[in-house]
Structure 1
Amino acid sequence: MKRLLEKYDLLVAIMAVGIVTRSLCRHLQDKWRDRPVVAVDSALSCAVPVVGGHHGANDLALLLAERMGLYPAITTATDASGRPCLESVAGRLKADIVNKSSSKSINLAFLTEDVPILRLKGPKILLVDEDVAVLKAKGLVLGVGARKGVSSEEVLQAIDQALAESGRKREDIAFLATAWLKKEEEGLLEAAKSLDREIVFLSREELNSQKPSTPSRAEDLGLAGVAEPAVLALAKRLILPKKAYGRVTVAIGEN
């Protein structure tokens, strides 16, 4: 069982729920790390999410119902009541749940009321109670460097080329990032406005604290770089190292 859980993202076990439970119990960690598992009876009549209901098991049971006619025996309170849950809201918003401990309070609240969703734009510091969920937007971080006087068309063309090379599209962009020196660069500002995305301006210290994999002309300005250091500072992983497209450099990271 351990090998299967490590190898696959989702599991369908054609056996009794009791057998599945006994097989799984020694390998369970918590609801955020456990693999979604659905038990299906030998007659292929019922699909029961056993573990990870809000993390894929419920959706898998519904898929089996749609494709094979099985009855989806979904037992999570919010789904059984036709109500949303924190995990589904985060998925719809393409966001990570920062304070996962809030899920119990939020999901209990969802059973009886519509929980409001507020979006805050920074820079801000957020102090919350235990029953307030904090979501952090996922998506691509585009680090952008540009020569002075660059046009928005040049910036957008460079971004589109970088996205195409990464197999991504504009809709995947969470925000842009660049150096504080570019706060007045009209072409860059206009490009961000055209994309309907915010720009984060990083300080010299923030950029120079990173270790980019590629050399940069920004070294002449005493910087480790712009595009790639900006991504390294703000994204979980780098998926496209800095690359030059004419007068624009682009690096892409992902959260």
Structure 2
Amino acid sequence: MTTSPAIIILSEAALPMAQRIAGTIGGEVHGLERRITESVDATFTDTGQHLGGLFRDGRVIVALMASGAVIRLLAPHLSDKQNEPPVIAVAEDGSAVVPLLGGHHGGNDLAREIANIVGGFAAITTAGDLKFGVALDQPPEGWVLANPKGAKQVMADLVAGKSARLEGEADWLAVSGLPFSADGKILLTISNRADAEPAGGLLYRPKNLVLGIGCERGAGGDEALALALESLEQAGLSPASVGLVASIDVKADEAAVHHVAAHFGCPARFFVAATLEAEAPRLKTPSDIVFAEVGCHGVSEGAALVAVGQSGELMAEKRKSRRATCAIGRAPEPFVQANLPGRGRGKLMVVGIGPGSDGWRSPEVSQMVAVSTDLVGYSLYLDLLGPLAAGKARHDFDLGKEEARVRHAMELAGEGKSVALVCSGDAGIYAMATLVFELLDKADGPEGLTADARRIEISVSPGISALQAAAARAGAPLGHDFCTISLSDLLTPWEDIKRRVTAAGEGDFVIAFYNPVSKKRRTQLAWSRDKLLEHRPASTPVILATNLGREGELIRIVPLGSLNVDDVDMLTVVVVGSSNSTTVATGDGKSWVYTPRGYARKEGTAMTSIASGDAA
């Protein structure tokens, strides 16, 4: 599910401003369908229902609407102040930006950012922000408030005139307008020690601790985590101050390292052996055995020291469990996303964008594209992403360069980038997901991938296939057993294709033909038509679906006996019905194709199918 802000517009006049905001804060533009003709990231028909769904999902909402309208629409959904997402109303001319909800959960800061974008005024109304320029219950990135329930009373006391005393260092508090004095009654404590929460005050944890983790290949995540927690406890340090997990680059795909990072909700970063070895003079427990294994005298201590830098220090030397090691370092400043040391594990997201239209692209795919740094794909497919591709590094490839395309995407991810490998239709159906895993399978060969590319994180997200799109546009031809066959003999010998067409004809499958023709290849579809006519009537319906989901979409239904190869081009999917497939006309003059499964003849079949997992 996507987590980027949703910018809501009710008219096309608001689109330019919405796009400016979205381009800066990384949001999506959602428009009221009946009033929007230009392309946006998502459309809706019921404003209240759409806003309510976004709010329940925890999405940040930026509505170019009247504040009163937003309040009335969201009022039925307000219940938990602590967990509500920011909701911001922006005047259509940008003159006013009002954080309505979630001001201390990022709403006030976002309102200020948007006001800078549109040249308007951020109408911040929360007392602490107005008087002191700081929200005590919303510390900046890299900081955690240990006792958030005390923030309301502390802020009320400060607004009422009491003074505060700062124990520790925190620039964001020191430069605020808070009333500090040497004898202040309200104590604001800064500590990464496992201290008790102060009575009547607040305790802030700087996330400046790094866990250096080393482990054997395949070590258990629970073992590594238990060691990390024990190390923190022995050192008297707070787990809430862990801001980073660090290790050597050969452990970038080690599940145990990522298990520890996931527990602490922090990034995992990796360093090459030579960088770790540069820290050898500062190691407390150097090991010649480790050097012989990986090329540095210490993984856990070395990683911790590299991560905190020369101004940092080792807080706890290496501790060992059966298959893991852990050391703890402290950096002079908290870790923040924009300035992390080392390299993260690269991500390759293989996404199917469907036929290309926004409405047929899944939210998961849109989110993967949104969080990516780089897009790799055939130029047409990248163009179909429209505004979603803005701000991304594009790596365009021509058709026929599939292996180069996939290899490039994997090597980019090996550099620590987040890469979306963009496919039309479904990424796993006659597309690039298969080649990703094939290259991994051959990774150790002479032309294999680099070591970094073999350690990337891979995810595959489905899309609406051309087969599904064609079927939906034409009715329900896939109601019973079906198969898909590619008629391209570039990768599959023609004799193999002929055998499969013959078997599908004899089995009476509905058949979707991919790659039915090309400029030079015109005979395979004709041969397939003639072969199928040996097994099913000439009246069998055939669906010719061209430019599915895009401009120029054309759906035609013709009898198998009259199928003309010249009516088919490279952008056409051909779906041939079985001997049971038939057509039915509706009152509006449309013809539909369906393949009955027998539900109407056998009472209870539908419920039985549902129970067995079929979509009835």
Query: Smaller-chain TM-score range?
Result: 0.5 to 0.7
CA distances 1:175-219 after superposition (whole Å, capped 9, x unpaired)? xxxxxxxx9526738937846145346978xxxxxxxxxxxxx5x
Percentage of identical aligned residues: 27
Matches within 5 A, 1:76-225: 76-88=126-138, 90-91=139-140, 94-111=142-159, 112=161, 113-116=163-166, 117-120=188-191, 122=193, 124-129=194-199, 131-138=200-207, 141-145=210-214, 159=247, 161=249, 168=269, 185=285, 188=301, 191=305, 194=310, 196-200=312-316, 223-225=322-324
In the alignment, what sits opposite 2:69? 19
2:125 aligned counterpart, secondary structure? coil
Shift, 1:224, TM fit: 5.0
Residue 67 to residue 162, structure 1, CA distance change in 2 (3 Å): farther
Which has the higher Rg, Structure 1 or Structure 2? 2
Greater RCO (Cα-Cα under 8 Å, separation 6 or more): 1
Shift, 1:86, TM fit: 0.8
Residue 169 to residue 33, structure 1, CA distance change in 2 (3 Å): farther
CA distances 1:133-181 after superposition (whole Å, capped 9, x unpaired)? 22333367423349xxxxxxxxxxx8474799978599xxxxxxxxxxx
Letter of the structure 1 residue corresponding to residue 198 of structure 2: V
CA–CA distance in 2 between the matches of 1:40 and 1:15?
A: 6
Shift, 1:41, TM fit: 2.9
Contact 2:247 2:269 in 1 (8 A): no
Residue 85 to residue 30, structure 1, CA distance change in 2 (3 Å): same
Letter of the structure 1 residue corresponding to residue 151 of structure 2: S
Residue 163 to residue 63, structure 1, CA distance change in 2 (3 Å): farther
Shift, 1:38, TM fit: 0.8
Shift, 1:104, TM fit: 0.6
Residue 200 to residue 167, structure 1, CA distance change in 2 (3 Å): closer
CA–CA distance in 2 between the matches of 1:83 and 1:34?
A: 22
Contact 1:39 1:47 in 2 (8 A): yes
In the alignment, what sits opposite 1:53? 103
Question: What is the TM-score with the length of structure 1 in the denominator?
Answer: 0.56
2:211 aligned counterpart, secondary structure? strand
Question: What is the TM-score with the length of structure 2 in the denominator?
Answer: 0.26
In the alignment, what sits opposite 2:122? 72
Residue 114 to residue 128, structure 1, CA distance change in 2 (3 Å): closer
CA distances 1:8-42 after superposition (whole Å, capped 9, x unpaired)? 64211222222222222332343331110111234
Q: Give the unaligned 5+ runs of structure 2.
A: 1-50, 167-187, 216-245, 254-266, 272-282, 287-297, 329-343, 346-616
Q: What's the Cα RMSD here?
A: 4.1
CA–CA distance in 1 between the matches of 2:124 and 2:77?
A: 22
1:38 aligned counterpart, secondary structure? strand
2:149 aligned counterpart, secondary structure? helix
Residue 24 to residue 163, structure 1, CA distance change in 2 (3 Å): farther
Contact 2:108 2:124 in 1 (8 A): yes
CA distances 1:21-80 after superposition (whole Å, capped 9, x unpaired)? 222233234333111011123443211110011222112221222111222111011222
Contact 1:96 1:135 in 2 (8 A): yes
Residue 169 to residue 25, structure 1, CA distance change in 2 (3 Å): farther
Contact 2:190 2:206 in 1 (8 A): no
Matched, 1:3 2:53: yes
Contact 1:85 1:106 in 2 (8 A): no
